[in-house]
Amino acid sequence: MFKNSLSDLRFVFFVAFRYLFSQKKQNAINLISIISVFGVVVSTAALVCVLSVFNGFSDMFEKSIGDIAPELQITAKQGKTFDFPKIEEKIAEIKNIAVVSQVIQDNALIDYNGSQTPIILKGVDKNYKRIINADSLMISGNYRLYDFEFDVSVVGYGLAYSLNLGVDYVTPLSIYAPRREGKINIARPDAAFKRGELLVSGLFASLQTEFDDKMIIAPIEFVKNLYDYDSVTVSAVELKLKDIKHLKLTENQLYKSLGKEFLVQNRHEQQKDYFNIIRIERLIIFIILAFILFIAICNIISSLSIILIEKKDDIQIFKNIGANSRRIRQIFIVEGWLMSIIGAVVGVILGLMTCFLQYKFGFIKMGDASSVENYPVVIQFIDIFAVFLTVLVIGFLAAFYPVKYFLREKERSSDIFDLK
């Protein structure tokens, strides 16, 4: 009957399909099979949904970073500052660079209405407004650093909330920075700090705690004077490109042109720790859900074991018509694998439908304390492929080893399973 591998394969799948979808003698077997497939469906759908939510958070984080972080940033590999004229001409030679902004950034202390807190003070030039999406960041007041004869600033929303601070053109912020030059007088420790005053023209929110809870942005001349830097000293140069599609090419050109003394970073590299945290959390969640999926698929083992006992007469018939032990094992392995495949397909469809409904209607909320109303979802094909492949591999292993072991033990202990 079994003349070639193709006919063998047809026989295996035909019998496996019949066993899977036919009515079993014992209703308990049907119930166990349904529960097994249902467990795979739920676990697969959960994997699709969770991965899509992580994609949504990653995408949301990347967009929020894009509002305040430069497309490219140049810093010194050693030391906190460098002279801008050293690289000015080299930057000008790169055709894809549209805007160049000089930045001075360092730690400071703020005093407002008796409340003191450490901050990150960022001094920027007039071009910085073109580097970031200033208008979309402002939630109160305006970005007007260079519109007045006096020094003004924009403050992160989280920092403003902790200081009970709003837009204020009357009461200044007192900014303290350690003096870089001169000797410290032990009798007057306050003389070791230099003081400056800033009014507040607006509050910004980037949805990034690193910026919102700590940062004040001020004119670069004010910051240089506070830290006693000269006019050519900068801590970073931030760039906006003409065509973001050529980001990697421009980054490589800058690396070659500037040499080993300078570090050129894109947004992902500037926020490497945040993106690594998201990747690690995503991987851990995937492993946990994959383990739950494995437990759900293990229900197939019990279902197959009962089916093997029920079909012992059929196994003897297969032996009589020429099927060897390998072919009989394949029948039950394929049957168990089909359960996993059906569960995977239905689970992926259910997960995609759930993600689509969440994207369209946002029925799962983040909560009042969150700055985002609904859980974000972004579906990626690579995730669907990874989930489907994971289910198929675990499903095959869960079916292969139990069936092989079960039939081998039966062959040793019973004449009925004496397959050769």
- DSSP conformation letters of 261-330: TEEEEEHHHHTHHHHHHHHHHHHHHHHHHHHHHHHHHHHHHHHHHHHHHHTHHHHHHHHHTT--HHHHHH
Amino acid symbol at 277: I
The total number of structural domains that make up the chain: 2
Residue 170: the pLDDT is 85
97 shares its domain with 230: yes
Q: How far apart are CA 307 and CA 131, in angstroms?
A: 67
245 shares its domain with 306: no
Of 400 and 279, which is predicted with more confidence? 279
The pLDDT tens digits of the residues spanning 261-309 come to 899 999 888 888 888 888 888 888 888 888 888 887 777 777 777 776 6
Asked if 159 contacts 212 with a C-beta cutoff of 8 angstroms, the reply is yes
Range from 26-35, 158-167, 286-295 that averages highest in pLDDT: 158-167
Share of the chain above pLDDT 90, in %: 33
Tokens read off for 400: 């292969």
CA distance readout (Å), 62 to 68, 161, 208, 248, 271: 10, 24, 10, 17, 9
94 shares its domain with 215: yes
CA-based nearest residue to 82, from 233, 252, 225, 276: 233
Query: Residue 89: how many CB atoms within 10 A of its CB?
Result: 9
The pLDDT tens digits of the residues spanning 225-238 come to 999 899 899 999 99
Asked if 286 contacts 51 with a C-beta cutoff of 8 angstroms, the reply is yes
> CA 277, 289, 283: angle at the middle one, nearest 5?
25
Q: Please identify, among 267, 291, 309, the residue that sits at the C-terminal boundary of a domain.
A: 267
309 shares its domain with 282: yes
Asked if 40 contacts 391 with a C-beta cutoff of 8 angstroms, the reply is yes
77 shares its domain with 60: no
Residue 2: the pLDDT is 45
The pLDDT tens digits of the residues spanning 331-380 come to 777 777 888 888 889 999 999 999 999 988 888 887 665 666 788 889 88
163 shares its domain with 303: no
Residue 40: the pLDDT is 86
SS3 46: helix
Q: Please identify, among 267, 283, 304, the residue that sits at the C-terminal boundary of a domain.
A: 267
> CA 364, 275, 119: angle at the middle one, nearest 5?
95
334 shares its domain with 410: yes
Model pTM greater than 0.85? no
CA distance readout (Å), 397 to 68, 336, 390: 48, 10, 11
Of 99 and 25, which is predicted with more confidence? 99
50 shares its domain with 78: no
CA distance readout (Å), 69 to 65, 134, 137, 238, 294: 5, 11, 12, 9, 41
178 shares its domain with 283: no
Q: Give yes or no for residue 217 having a pLDDT over 90.
A: yes
Mean pLDDT of 382-388: 89
Share of the chain above pLDDT 70, in %: 79
Residue 175: the pLDDT is 93
Tell the burial category of 225 from Cβ atoms under 10 Å away from its Cβ (0-12, 13-18, 19+). middle
Residue 152: the pLDDT is 93
- List 217's β-bridge partners, or say none: 122, 154
CA-based nearest residue to 216, from 230, 202, 226, 228: 202
Mean pLDDT of 375-404: 83
Asked if 107 contacts 120 with a C-beta cutoff of 8 angstroms, the reply is yes
Residue 233: the pLDDT is 92
Average pLDDT along the chain: 82
81 shares its domain with 51: no
**Domain range holding 85?**
71-267
Q: Please identify, among 222, 250, 267, the residue that sits at the C-terminal boundary of a domain.
A: 267
Q: Give yes or no for residue 12 having a pLDDT over 90.
A: no
CA distance readout (Å), 286 to 52, 160, 240, 351, 359: 11, 38, 36, 15, 21
Mean pLDDT of 143-168: 90
259 shares its domain with 327: no
Q: Give yes or no for residue 414 having a pLDDT over 60.
A: no
CA distance readout (Å), 106 to 59, 98, 120: 29, 26, 6
217 shares its domain with 78: yes
